[in-house]
Structure 1
């Protein structure tokens, strides 16, 4: 499948991902009233990803490139697509700030304070590279929460949903009855939190508040179009499940008295089990544990 229609004037492209984890991310091609296409999350910066997206876009005029967030599996292909089409890249204003912060360089996570065993530190340091990839895109413009994007003939509204990253963005098309959810709400995966650099607020609290905002958008017929996996139904119910997951995690963390972040994380319930975590998934687990302890 190169692309498939998932809503009126909206096609999905399953863009391959490297690394052996999730097999693909979703790029969405939104057609406007003037016949141009607006690309949401062009995907990874690999040749295979570029080829699949190029095939889906053959003959189309690309008017804009909208990023739900800065991670390389969503935004990594934006620079190449902009170079090929001259279309501007848009992000939420808070995500633009996060990109500038990441570009300035971040200190490595304090693995000593977390109590990470010496033999596990190399893989975690390797996983702590800039999440936007080696050559993150510099956006051309930003959008604010509640703003309608410049998509002729459609009312595509920006919904700020921080937590996964500081400026994560969902996009609501009320007339089409769809919500582009990026990595904020996925059908089966629990998104990692705090994966876009430092923030003044706790990413878990930000995420829970954003789940409430998204759940309130659901009129019973709203169809979520996620950044990974397949389109699904029941966004309000899925938000409730994700919120309950973090409440259980908070209770698990609170039940552990003392010890290091590593000690606490090793006792928690992880999908696939603690022993299966490595590299970026292990780093994400430790960060979330530290965030719960800090609440």
Structure 2
């Protein structure tokens, strides 16, 4: 059964399934405008997801061919996956922040072998064991297997979301807020209109993955093989959280789980969670550890032995993001001369 929620004031959400993923679904939001309906995110590129999206639209009297535009909170495949198919069916424009559009372009243009070489070298540098790196090297030698992964042929957006500006949506006041952290170009979208149920606060916030009611989004390193800049994604995320907390939105409409009020309270919970996590990691760094060894010892949603290969890459990226933050704060440092590099609390 298609699950569609009417949030009032010309806003609906459609639960679009994500295949084989514990998150279960992406909440794709539909916004009525004076020039036609606009989607905020589109869901995973999968036949069941497409059928669910189009059935959800039909249930509120919208044909996918009627879609006027697509606004993407960030480039991940459970948000941007179906954008190209929506554009093919409707002629809709697609808008995304320039930093994430750059990732889409780079992914489309890169050879799978070069990405696998980069990933293998990177994992070697952070202390991953040989048996973890071997499948990547084997896939590189076979060539092309990466083409089965999501996001490789994602649609190139044709409009840029400019932070701080109102989007060009007839009859609506939707302002883009740049909230890097989960991705470098993640945006939240503030619907600066009176809440239809008169909840106290300033409008509604489409928060993407930035602010979720029950989970903290993944924050790992921004991966660009051609850029050696030492980014600080966790610092970006925490700064972005504080900015969102100050907005005073009456209600948050996230891309997963469910709508909720008290954005400022949820922001405080997440800030406290990350401070506790950083403090816990400092205790682990009483002895020098590689990023891989730190990831092995961190708390995840399951024991390390049960975490599959690809998810371990994501986990070690998150460990590295936390290390970057601790180093920037002067609370940890790399041990001189260590190879692979180890880090210790200061």
| Structure 2 residue aligned with 1:47 | 47
Describe the shift of the 1:195–1:53 C-alpha distance in structure 2 as closer, same or farther (beyond 3 A).
farther
Unmatched runs of 5 consecutive residues or more in structure 1: none
> Residue 91 of structure 1 aligns to a residue in which SS?
strand
Unmatched runs of 5 consecutive residues or more in structure 2: 140-145, 196-202, 326-346
| Structure 1 residue aligned with 2:219 | 193
Describe the shift of the 1:71–1:196 C-alpha distance in structure 2 as closer, same or farther (beyond 3 A).
farther
Do 2:93 and 2:157's aligned partners in 1 also have CA atoms closer than 8 Å? yes
Task: Within 5 Å, give how 1:4-83 maps onto structure 2.
Answer: 4-34=5-35, 36-58=36-58, 59-60=62-63, 61-83=66-88
| Structure 1 residue aligned with 2:129 | 117
Q: How many angstroms apart in 1 are the aligned matches of 2:319 and 2:221? A: 13
1:229 aligns with 2:257: yes
* CA positional deviation for 1:195: 6.3
1:165 aligns with 2:176: no
Match of 1:87 among 76, 81, 92: 92
Q: How many angstroms apart in 2 are the aligned matches of 1:135 and 1:210? A: 29
More divergent stretch after superposition (80-89 vs 229-238): 229-238
1:272 aligns with 2:277: no
More divergent stretch after superposition (25-34 vs 204-213): 25-34
Deviations 1:217-264 (A, max 9, x none): 125xx2111111111222111112222222222222223131211211
| Bigger relative contact order (CA 8 A; separation at least 6) | 1
More divergent stretch after superposition (58-67 vs 177-186): 58-67
> Residue 108 of structure 1 aligns to a residue in which SS?
helix
Task: Within 5 Å, give how 1:140-159 maps onto structure 2.
Answer: 140-159=158-177
Describe the shift of the 1:242–1:123 C-alpha distance in structure 2 as closer, same or farther (beyond 3 A).
farther
Match of 1:178 among 204, 214, 225: 204
Q: How many angstroms apart in 2 are the aligned matches of 1:209 and 1:20? A: 29
Match of 2:152 among 95, 117, 134: 134
Deviations 1:254-287 (A, max 9, x none): 2313121121122222233434432443222211
Q: How many angstroms apart in 2 are the aligned matches of 1:124 and 1:288? A: 20
Describe the shift of the 1:57–1:165 C-alpha distance in structure 2 as closer, same or farther (beyond 3 A).
same
Deviations 1:112-136 (A, max 9, x none): 222223333467888xx69861311
Q: How many angstroms apart in 2 are the aligned matches of 1:17 and 1:55? A: 16
Do 1:149 and 1:155's aligned partners in 2 also have CA atoms closer than 8 Å? yes
Deviations 1:135-189 (A, max 9, x none): 1110011011011111111100001000100100110002142101111111112
Q: How many angstroms apart in 1 are the aligned matches of 2:184 and 2:11? A: 27
| Structure 2 residue aligned with 1:254 | 282
| Structure 1 residue aligned with 2:344 | none
Q: How many angstroms apart in 1 are the aligned matches of 2:91 and 2:263? A: 35
Q: How many angstroms apart in 1 are the aligned matches of 2:303 and 2:262? A: 27
Q: How many angstroms apart in 2 are the aligned matches of 1:190 and 1:21? A: 14
Describe the shift of the 1:243–1:30 C-alpha distance in structure 2 as closer, same or farther (beyond 3 A).
same
> Residue 212 of structure 1 aligns to a residue in which SS?
helix
More divergent stretch after superposition (234-243 vs 97-106): 97-106
1:202 aligns with 2:246: no
1:245 aligns with 2:273: yes
* CA positional deviation for 1:45: 0.4
Do 2:219 and 2:318's aligned partners in 1 also have CA atoms closer than 8 Å? yes
Do 1:124 and 1:282's aligned partners in 2 also have CA atoms closer than 8 Å? no
